[in-house]
Amino acid sequence: MLLLDIGNTNLRWTTQAAGRLGEVRILRHGGGMTLDLLAAWEALGAPSRILVSNVGGAAVAESLRRVTRAYWGLDPEFVSTRADFGGVRIAYAEPARFGVDRWLTLIAAHAPALDDAGTAPRQPTLILDAGTAATFDLLLADGRHLGGLILPGIEMMRNSLLAGTQIPRIESEPVGDPWAQDTGTAVAAGSVQAIAALARRLLDRLTEQAGATPRLLLTGGDAQRLRSALDRPFQEIPDLVLRGLLQVAERIPLSG
């Protein structure tokens, strides 16, 4: 199978065989299929199935559909959020309003296969997906989704402030103390620390709600920029959405 995670900015893709994911490739999609992606797929054998998580919009979806039909005569299957699936029950009353990428991270987090042995007891979990937006979702050990929060991502947070001020842009990332000694770096540090501080607060509230210590799963394109700011143990899983897609593929047979 060919599995794709199309975000607002980046596209991640991999192949699956014998229940395992292959190497994950990442690129910026720009609303369409890039030349680098097309070149890589020219050398790819025809997949039996193409599953897609898409929050990147209709244009990139249509571009993907044209390419897969031309290359392999296959239509991609665009996964959509379900209220109750794989033991996960989402909090939203209208499942269509809950992003499919967020849903797939919940499915992956609740799957026993996330653990090395596949047998560890499930835990309450906070998922932090740091991308164009930073999303937080809280999941109890029994699969009940409590809900979540959404913030602007690191770059969006910085850009929104810089656009309305005369503060100069600082491209380097903050290091060391969580505070800064000049204004530009203070903006850079503030965007990181705001997300990390919210993660800490939500972990504390989830501990109270669940009566157990939750784990923190970190994913998304900006995950590495948050590592030093997080002061709680965390597990970084870059391909969490793709793992969720694999779980969906194993539970939903090929249509037709």
Return binding residues for K(+): 129
Residue 211 Cα distances to 23, 141, 171, angstroms: 37, 11, 41
Q: Is 101 annotated in the active site?
A: yes
Which one is catalytic: 36, 84, 101, 204?
Answer: 101
What is the 3-class SS of the chain, one letter each residue?
A: CEEEEECCCEEEEEEEECCEECCCEEEECCCCCCHHHHHHHHCCCCCCCEEEEECCCHHHHHHHHHHHHHHHCCCCEECCCCCEECCEECCCCCHHHCCHHHHHHHHHHHCHHHCCCCCCCCCCEEEEEECCEEEEEEECCCCEEEEEEEEECHHHHHHHHHHCCCCCCCCCCCCCCCCCCCHHHHHHHHHHHHHHHHHHHHHHHHHHHHCCCCEEEEECCCHHHHHHHCCCCCEECCCHHHHHHHHHHHHCCCCC
Would you list which residues are annotated within the binding site for ATP? 5-12, 132
CA-derived radius of gyration, the chain: 19
- The catalytic site residues sit at 101
